[in-house]
Structure 1
Amino acid sequence: MTAPAAPPGSRTPSWAGVVDAVTTADATFGLVSLVIAVIAILALIAVLVLLGRQRREVRRANDLLDLSRELRHRYDALQAVTKEGVLVVSLGGSVLDISERAAAILGVEHDASVGRHLTDLPVVLVNEQGLSMNPAAVLGYRTGRAGYTVDSQLVGVLLPGAPGGGSQARMVQVASQLVAAADGDAPAVLTTLVDVTGSRQVEAALSRSEMQFRVAMENAPIGMALVDLDWHVVEANAALAELLGTTVEALRGYPMEALGTPESRASERLEVDRLLGGGQHRFSIEKRYQRADDHLVWVVLDAALVRTASGEPDHFVVQVRDSTESRLQAEMLTHRAMHDPLTGLANRTLLQEVLQSVLEQPGVVDRVAVLACDLDGFKEINDRYGHAAGDEVLVHVAGVLRAATARRGTVARLGGDEFVVVVQDIDGPKAVFEVAAAIHAGLAEPVRVARRRLPVAASIGIALAEPDTIQGGAPTLLAAADAALYKAKAAGRGRTEVYDQSMAKSSSVDLLRELSEALDADELVVHYQPIVDLADTRVVGYEALVRWQHPYRGLLLPAAFLPLAQEAGLAVPLGQFVATKVAEFVASSPDRTTWVSVNVSADQLGDGEFATTLLAEISRHRLMAGRIVVELTESSLVASGTRIRHELTQLSAAGVPILLDDFGTGVSPLSYLRDLPVAGVKLDMSFTSGIPDDPTAGKVVRALGALARELAMVTIAEGIEHAEQAEYLHRNGWRYGQGWLYGGAQPASATLGAAPPATGLAPRSA
């Protein structure tokens, strides 16, 4: 095929050029297509990215929507069960949200309230004084609020429907707080509402009850108190303060136990502990209270424990009733039924009860004795001077027996001129002989009846509480005393006899022979009773007390054989025996500061034998001066002669201190302190037994102690049984003491094995 002819005047292109042009066009087209394709891909990628982001945003929005729904569901559930209502209000006062509980508290409809202004809600609020309040000011935003603090106040919400067509008030605690804005929203006011009507009513009821109880307590005619669990007074009324002679203010915080006397505190504490432990719900006891003026009154104490709702102890309610008058009346009737109307002593009925009660207690052997007393020639007084004179004599004798007993037992009149004394003492035999001696001494002075002076004497029979005499109880022991009294009256006027069953087996000559043989057979032993320093109760010395270890009668106390030894003329050998044993004891004692006192009577002095033996034993054992002390009874010095005083002076000059025993009970003690070489005194146990309850005994103790200290003498008190007695004696200047409180007399072996180191000083001669 031939090519067409070219038009005239034109340049005919070459094939090479055409090819180049075509190639160039293709290249340009391909580049454009590539660019378009890249752009399309990029656009597609961008679209895919946007689609993915959109899907994530949609997914996130759905999750947030689900979370929002869940939170709303939980919020609604929480508001359904909570007692608090929640109200959300804008700063402008429009209700943004209100819970069902808040709507119920305010008395409005939930759906109708959202979006409305607070002032448009049908809510009537009043303050505690009953004055109307603006709901917007209470529930909404208040100008001047500082930051997001919480404001709380109590308001009343008046609701219709009260009985009678009126309205009832509901007490509501309102707390409002600004809540911070979120996502650019304006802050809002969050208000919580709590219905406190019920609790306020309970508080009002409790307040009324408390007021009623307080008025009743303050105006009660008997003493009342509220007491805490520590048994201390929290509140008391005027009646209790008046009963105790003090003020209500002084009673607050005061221990209830301290109101009573010391002897009743333990039983009271026991009753309180039983209440706290659930053992009982209340208790009632009768006891004595000590007024502020130190006077004692009898009261009946009633206490009840108040517990909390959970059953835990909370406090006590106590009533205290004055029972002094009724107590005195009851005691008066009891006294009339149990006492002799003439002398005021116990009658036969009371004596039998007392003696039987005493004998039923453990450890009565050697601690109890019965003394039967019958007047000599009383029938002649009645026949010659009449029964009126006889009554005066009986009253006088009753006083002598009381004084002689010195609170160590019970004195009774059985009828006519028959009297009985039941003696109770740590050392019963010693005490009963002291009582008998005091009775004879008291009757030595004639009785003044009108213008006459009538001599009166008594025969006395003594029965000691021993295994044989107490088997049959009170009647057996009284019969033994009567038998001894019969023997005393048969022997003559003004005598004392001791009942002893061995009298039926052997004569008095045989008994004297047994005592003489006992000295040689080493049947007599010495026991030692500790003497302590009252300041620290450490042992500083001992008192030596002789005992007879009889072959078949057992251990006999001094009262059973000392009178026999004096009648037989064995007092001096007995004293020498004791001096020898005491010197051996002191020499063997590991403590070189303790001292031992030896009892010496006037019968053992005067011939120089006792003093010679004692000084020889001190020299033989090389004992330091002052480690053996001689004790003298005041009664033994009444008939003292110059030879006795010379012997005492000899002992004192050799370094043996002399103590005056039974100080305060004898005759003319001042002359003894002046004329004899006395280094110290020993207070008689009759005064110790009376303190601290007996004010007279207390005065005597203080006076005698002051007298001895003024003369620079050692002071020892015997017969101490209670810590109160020891404290009283120490407080009133008595330095040393002994008695059942610190232990009874023990054998030498037991004493040496148990004696603690002593730090006290031995008595020194004046």
Structure 2
Amino acid sequence: MGRELGAAPLRGAFADPLGSVATVIAVVAILALVAVLVLLARERAQGRRAKALLVHARELRHRYDALQSVTREGVLVQSLGGRVLDLSDRAAAILGVDAAASVGRAITDLPVVVVNEQGLAMNPAAVLGHRTGSARAGYSVDSELVGVLRPGTNATQARMVQVATQLVPAGDGDAPAVLTTLVDVTGRHEVEAALSRSETQFRVAMENAPIGMALVDPQWCVVEANAALAELLGTSVEALRGYPMSELSAAEDREAERREVRRLLDGELHRFSLEKRYQRADGHLVWVALDAALVRTPDGSPDHFVVQVRDSTESRLQAEMLTHRAMHDPLTGLANRTLLQEVLQSVLEQPGVVERVAVLACDLDGFKEINDRYGHATGDELLVHVAGVLRAATARRGTVARLGGDEFVVVVQDVDGPKAVFEVAAAVHAALREPVRVGRRRLTVCASVGIALAEPETVRGGAPALLAAADAAMYRAKAAGRARTEVYDASMALPTGGLAHELADAFARGEVLAHYQPIVDLADGRVVGYEALARWQHPTLGLLLPGAFLPHVQEAGLAVPLGQLVATQVVEFLARTQDQSRWCSVNVSADQLGDGEFATTLLQEISRHRVAAGRLVVELTESSLVASGTRIRHELTQLSAAGVPILLDDFGTGVSPLSYLRELPVAGVKLDMSFTSGIPDDPTAGKVARALGALARELSMVTIAEGIEHEEQALYLHRSGWRYGQGWLYGGAQPGDPLR
């Protein structure tokens, strides 16, 4: 019974074996299905991830291509073995190869030629590929500048390329790759080379410049200087660096310099020029011409100054010498007429002039005889001696001047002017009583002296009136016996209306006459013509030169009648002359030409006396043409068309002479005697005379030099191209008929 109970379960368990198998199969099937579903899901997920990665890769490639299209850098990717893995279009263009055809090829197989900066060939693999010692991923190699030659080009046409390489981990699968960047810097390199050349050229030019140069910071301190500036200042270039420019200046010149620098910094000026003084290291002052320009940054801020410093000491001294010569008599060193008139006019404008000022006119008696007998050299020595006498007699109480020839003037300024001027006159007479030793000769000369006190009547007329008064007194002294002093008073002149009446009567009485000074051919000294000069044979004052009465003629309005009178005398004079080849010139003023009747009257006289028009020459002074109008030009054109030659007098001293030569019908020029008097001692006067002569000859004009006093001047002027000459060497103006 017990065995039966134990066996029953076993029988129950195996009672339905097919059901158990089915169950197992079902479970396995379910598990397989789940596994399949899981695998399918995993595959779908992997597919989606692969698709996403592909899309991302495409996006990265697009971004890479877009980046390469706009970047200046070309990219070359290589394996460590030198095989091209990737090549951007920019890199292909720089190297001059085809990008698609280059991928997969060895770098050494590409048709690329690389040279260094000296033009020597280099191994492309060594430049573009992997380099020994750079196996560690991420290791960067310093960039290198090389030249890349494209097919058919030479070394001078190489493109300059900046090359840099770097190892990239897992760039070639699992292995690192070499990433090479290429940047075409040809343009930048050319600019840098040009800048370098410019900087080198500027530095060489600055270092070797013959004038001082410096670069100065906005605080006006020296940054760099050249040797010429250091030499000018008596120091070294090293000592100048960092030194304030303003402290180089003389103390009294610093403010003007600071003012100009401030104007540059404020934008009021772009550059400035200043003549000033610098103090050398040894304490001496030098005159310099300072030129400064401000260089600004692109945003307009001051960056630095470029300064040039030229030594102007010598040129300034020469200018001062020329100014002195223009205002002083070259023989005696005394003031000339121009300076005298300026000084006198300035003095007369000061208060209290009546008590403090007087004018003394001095003319030597018998000087012409000495000059004619012993020669001009002796006469010059005598004039120099008289100049010394006048200086000593004046004793720093005024200004001594030589007006020309043997005529001197002293403007006396003293607390007691009348007393001082008489003391000066007495001292002159006393000194001239002593014979003068000239060479082996002892000569005696005396002087006629005229004094004009600064009285209200004479002061109102200004400097010309006071000088004319002194002249009138001097001529009275000559007429009264010479070697004496006369003081101007009302009996020596009339009021303006009376003077005009006296001059008009003088014309009617024949007291105003033309005197004639010879003009010669400088080649042989032959007289070819004369210049007519007006003289007034005054019944009481004696023979008056133009300086004594022409100012009164102008004031009286008699300039036109005087000119017509002299011109008429000259025409009659030419009609009487036997030598028909000689000519005579007459001075004509702007007033006479502007009158409208002068040219007509002159041509009528020429026609009436049957004188060839070419024998009468009209001389014009440049100063008379400054304000010339159309009427004056019409008169000149009328005279020229009728055959009357026109000469430009005082050539070289007036204004706009070139415009006169171009615009007026001028046939010739007359060199002003101020240039002649400077020959041969004044080189500048000689150069000017030679240049003016060349200009006149170039324009096919007649050339006459006046004021010739000795043979050396005549010879120099003739060699310089001047054809004719006149002056004391050939004789002064004489009355009568010297041409007959």
Range into which the TM-score falls when normalised by the shorter chain: 0.3 to 0.5
TM normalised by structure 1 equals 0.44
Q: TM-score, normalised by structure 2?
A: 0.45
